[in-house]
Structure 1
């Protein structure tokens, strides 16, 4: 039977969280047929073996090395058979009724191109998942760590005035739960893996969807648990800042042109250097503990 929904999960060295994720998915009441595709980006923690042994229904795509989030998502999208696609982070837990709600809303509301849902931490506190389009000022503030001293500089970008208790049209939603129809994918195309190894791929996609005339929709009626970036925590500050700043620069080059992108490219050596120093300090501190 052809599934209504294809759930696409990209995993990298996050076996335990992914195991709980998959256990939760396959324990859901069977109200809507779905398939699960896991694209493993060269994990060395036994993730592929765990999937084969414990979750034989999962369609596993195994990469020999980390190809990046956008590239791996595209691998899953090409193989997916559903009418609705859900990009779902490995460190997530699907809430009951979420799939039915997402499918029903996207099928009923043809004006919606991408749908996100309410995200909460395991203790029930809100994960702020709505953003406004990046502007040069707020992204420079992020690179220079200004929010540590002046958190209000990101109020516009982080949509601090957004009411998460009500469903609404927004500019972008967090990629942890990112649902869209097959026809949207057919028209918009794949995630831009050439420009975005990780970070900004969903920002770019949301903008492309809006440019094509569809809405980005935040749905407050249902929720998922988000453990927030467990795979990222394994990476060094230097690597994270290298990838973040490159994706940021590529985004501004794509949407705002050379002058704004050049400012970010010029700052990259400083940002990466500071991150490398931070890694060294952390390493020395851990040795003394």
Structure 2
């Protein structure tokens, strides 16, 4: 078997369904499997999987074991030469795994591959590629020096800015939302360190791959949609766990010193403080109008009453989608992309191409009864039921 995709879920039932649908499309031409591990969700995620995807392997944990252990359980059941650790609040393109498999097969001393991630508004997620957060690199992050001097090596290493978002190349650290590697390497590394609950686990795994003289890569030729805020809401618990995770990583991999401990504690506090307030996002006002990109005229006539808003129907049989949607530029509007007629790859491309602070996006996944999306990388996302 070529590939095993491991999706660890916790209480994101609708995002999980969309994710699995996109992965099914992406592995349709491959010898591959999907393994969903559920960390004791209370939102009927498991019931949905059993009813809608009865042939997909589902592992139901008796409690929330956290990100490291949950993924380790999934990988222990995997059969693929390669594995992909994938967040449930992601959407992959139909050719994502075909492209990354081809890239992986060309490499020697392969470590971990990450890809270009965008959030639900189309914005690039800079954590798609990072450097090792040493004290100095953490310092440049804390003071925002990487923003002031993005092209200066001394200051731009936190987000690996030596490499553009549209360039493929070597990086140190990749994000746990999408990590692609050989299963044998994962086993050699003994998987994620289960002593760390969340947030330092991907940094730790990436760093240990480097210690094995492996090469980690950022691969820009496929883009994955990562809603980000959906799996992990930024609250007081988040701040506490983030502090614990960063403390864990530094104590594990760096020598202790008074200066180091003092500096890192300040850095951890600052990061946690910023992260907590990033999560407090004001709700956006209702869009002035909604653009429904589809060929389903019957649904387009029902949507105004469901959305309680004006809906403009873009019939894909008659009009060019991109040119028509460009009319939204500068206006406060929402674009709903009907996956029955628009591939996941095109949905992702549309969101990335038309990103604008005044435009929000939703996807109507095929064979579902809901519209889904996120207006901010820090919020829980929105689900609109269609009965």
Taking structure 2 as the reference length, what is the TM-score of the superposition? 0.63
- Alignment deviations for residues 20-43 of structure 1 (CA, whole Å, 9 cap, x no partner): 111222234621121111111121
Secondary structure of the 1:71 match is helix
Equivalent runs, 1:71-220 vs 2, <5 Å: 71-128=69-126, 129-139=128-138, 147=144, 152=148, 155-194=156-195, 196-220=196-220
Bigger relative contact order, structure 1 or 2 (CA pairs below 8 A, ≥6 apart): 1
Cα gap change, 1:162 to 1:181, in 2 (>3 Å): same
SS in 2 for 1:17: helix
Question: For residues 269 and 75 of structure 1, do their structure 2 counterparts lie closer, same or farther at Cα, with a shift above 3 Å needed?
Answer: same
Structure-2 separation of matches of 1:175 and 1:152: 27
Change (3 A) 1:261 1:199: farther
Could you list the per-position Cα deviations for residues 5-53 of structure 1 after superposition, in whole angstroms to 9, with x for gaps in the alignment?
A: 1000111111111111112222346211211111111211111111111
38, 52, 77: which one pairs with 1:54?
A: 52
Report the 3-state secondary structure (helix = DSSP H, G, I; strand = E; otherwise coil) of the residue aligned with 2:99: helix
Cα distance in structure 2, aligned partners of 1:91 and 1:62: 18
Q: Does structure 2 conserve the Cα–Cα contact (< 8 Å) formed by 1:250 and 1:261? A: no
Distance 1:150 1:109 in 2: 30
Residue 245 of structure 1: CA displacement?
0.8
Q: Structure 1 181/270 Cα, relative in aligned 2: closer, same or farther at 3 Å?
A: closer
Cα RMSD for the two superposed structures = 3.0
Task: State the structure with more CA Rg.
Answer: 2
Q: Could you tell me how far apart the structure 2 residues matched to 1:24 and 1:273 are?
A: 33
**2: CA distance between counterparts of 1:208 and 1:34?**
26
Contact 2:26–2:97 (8 Å) recurs in 1: no
Deviations 1:57-81 (A, max 9, x none): 2211112222110110100111111
| CA drift at 1:165 | 1.6
Does 2:247 match 1:249?
yes
Matched, 1:225 2:225: yes
In the alignment, the residues of structure 1 paired with residue 260 and residue 33 of structure 2 have an alpha-carbon distance, to the nearest angstrom, of 40
SS in 1 for 2:50: helix
- Secondary structure of the corresponding residue to residue 240 of structure 1: helix
Which residue is 1:24 aligned to? Answer: 22
> What SS does the corresponding residue of 1:172 show, helix, strand or coil?
coil
Q: Distance in 2 between matches of 1:150 and 1:182?
A: 34
Give 1:141 shift.
7.7
What is the CA–CA distance in structure 2 between the aligned matches of 1:264 and 1:243, rounded to whole Å? 19
Equivalent pair of 1:248/1:264 in contact (CA under 8 Å): no
Q: How far does the alpha carbon of each residue in 1:127-152 deviate from its partner, in whole angstroms, 9 at most, with x for none? A: 2211000022554787xx755x9965
Q: Does 1:64 align with 2:62?
A: yes
2:337 aligned partner: none
Q: Is the 8 A contact 1:242 1:272 kept in 2?
A: no
Structure 1 match to 2:38:
40
Per-residue deviation, 1:267 = 5.7
Alpha-carbon distance change, 27 to 204 in structure 1, aligned in 2, over 3 angstroms: same
Q: 1:88-107, CA deviations, whole angstroms, 9 ceiling, x for partnerless residues?
A: 01110111211112222223
**Count of equivalent residues:** 273
* Structure (1/2) with the larger helix percentage: 1
Q: Which runs of 5+ in 1 are unaligned?
A: none
SS state at 2:180 partner: strand
- Note closer, same or farther for the CA distance 1:28–1:150 as it changes in structure 2 (3 Å cut): closer
TM-score by length of 1: 0.83
Q: Which runs of 5+ in 2 are unaligned?
A: 150-154, 284-387
